[in-house]
Structure 1
Amino acid sequence: MSRPQCSRCLRPATHCLCPLIPSLESRTRVLLLQHPSEVNHALNTARLAALGLNNAQLVVGEVFDDLATLLNPPGYQARLLFPSDDAQPLQRYAPDEQPMLLVVPDGTWRKARKLLHLNPLLAALPRVTLMGDAVSRYRLRKAPGPGALSTVEAIAQALQVLEAPASFEPLLRPFDALIERQIAAMGAAVFEKNHG
Structure 2
Amino acid sequence: MNASSFSRPGRCARCQRPVARCLCSLIPSLQATCPLLILQHHSEARHALNTGRLAYLGVQGAQLWVGEQFEDLEARLAQAQRPVLLFPGPQAQVARALAPQQRPDLIVVPDGTWRKARLILHRNPILQRLPHWVLPQGDVSRYRLRKAPDPQAVSTLEAIVRLMQLMEPERDFSALLRPFEHLIEEQIQAMGLDTYERNYPTSR
**Band of TM-score, shorter chain:** over 0.9
Distance (Å, rounded) in 1 between the aligned partners of 2:100 and 2:112: 33
The equivalent residue for 1:67 is: 73
Distance (Å, rounded) in 1 between the aligned partners of 2:100 and 2:48: 39
- Kept after mapping to 2: 8 A contact 1:134/1:149: no
User: Does 1:23 find its partner at 2:29?
Assistant: yes
State the Cα deviation string for residues 86-122 of structure 1 (Å, max 9, x = none): 1111111214324431100011100100110111111
Give the TM-score taking structure 2 as reference length: 0.91
* Counterpart among 71, 78, 83 of residue 78 in structure 1: 83
Corresponding letter in the other structure for 2:76: L
Distance (Å, rounded) in 1 between the aligned partners of 2:167 and 2:33: 9
- Kept after mapping to 1: 8 A contact 2:38/2:108: yes
User: Does 1:143 find its partner at 2:143?
Assistant: no
Q: 3-state SS of the aligned residue for 1:42?
A: coil
Q: 3-state SS of the aligned residue for 1:128?
A: strand
Distance (Å, rounded) in 2 between the aligned partners of 1:95 and 1:19: 31
Q: 3-state SS of the aligned residue for 1:22?
A: coil
Task: Give, in angstroms, the shift of residue 172 of structure 1.
Answer: 0.5
Runs of 4+ in 1 over 6 A off after TM superposition: none
Task: Give, in angstroms, the shift of residue 133 of structure 1.
Answer: 4.3
Task: Give, in angstroms, the shift of residue 146 of structure 1.
Answer: 2.7
Corresponding letter in the other structure for 1:150: S
Q: 3-state SS of the aligned residue for 1:68?
A: helix
The equivalent residue for 1:11 is: 17
* Counterpart among 46, 50, 58 of residue 52 in structure 1: 58
Corresponding letter in the other structure for 1:44: N
Task: Give, in angstroms, the shift of residue 3 of structure 1.
Answer: 7.3
User: Does 1:171 find its partner at 2:176?
Assistant: yes
The equivalent residue for 2:93 is: 88
Task: Give, in angstroms, the shift of residue 147 of structure 1.
Answer: 1.4
Q: 3-state SS of the aligned residue for 1:71?
A: helix
Distance (Å, rounded) in 2 between the aligned partners of 1:119 and 1:29: 20
- Kept after mapping to 1: 8 A contact 2:41/2:66: yes
- Kept after mapping to 2: 8 A contact 1:93/1:99: no
Distance 1:71 1:180, change over 3 A: same
Distance (Å, rounded) in 2 between the aligned partners of 1:99 and 1:120: 20
* Counterpart among 144, 161, 166 of residue 166 in structure 2: 161
Corresponding letter in the other structure for 1:135: V
Distance (Å, rounded) in 1 between the aligned partners of 2:161 and 2:24: 18
Query: 1:101-116 to 2 correspondence within 5 Å?
Result: 101-116=106-121
Distance (Å, rounded) in 1 between the aligned partners of 2:93 and 2:111: 20
- Kept after mapping to 1: 8 A contact 2:34/2:103: no
- Kept after mapping to 2: 8 A contact 1:28/1:55: no
Give the TM-score taking structure 1 as reference length: 0.94
* Counterpart among 120, 125, 130 of residue 125 in structure 2: 120
Corresponding letter in the other structure for 1:82: F
Between the two proteins, the alignment pairs up a number of residues equal to 194
Corresponding letter in the other structure for 2:197: E
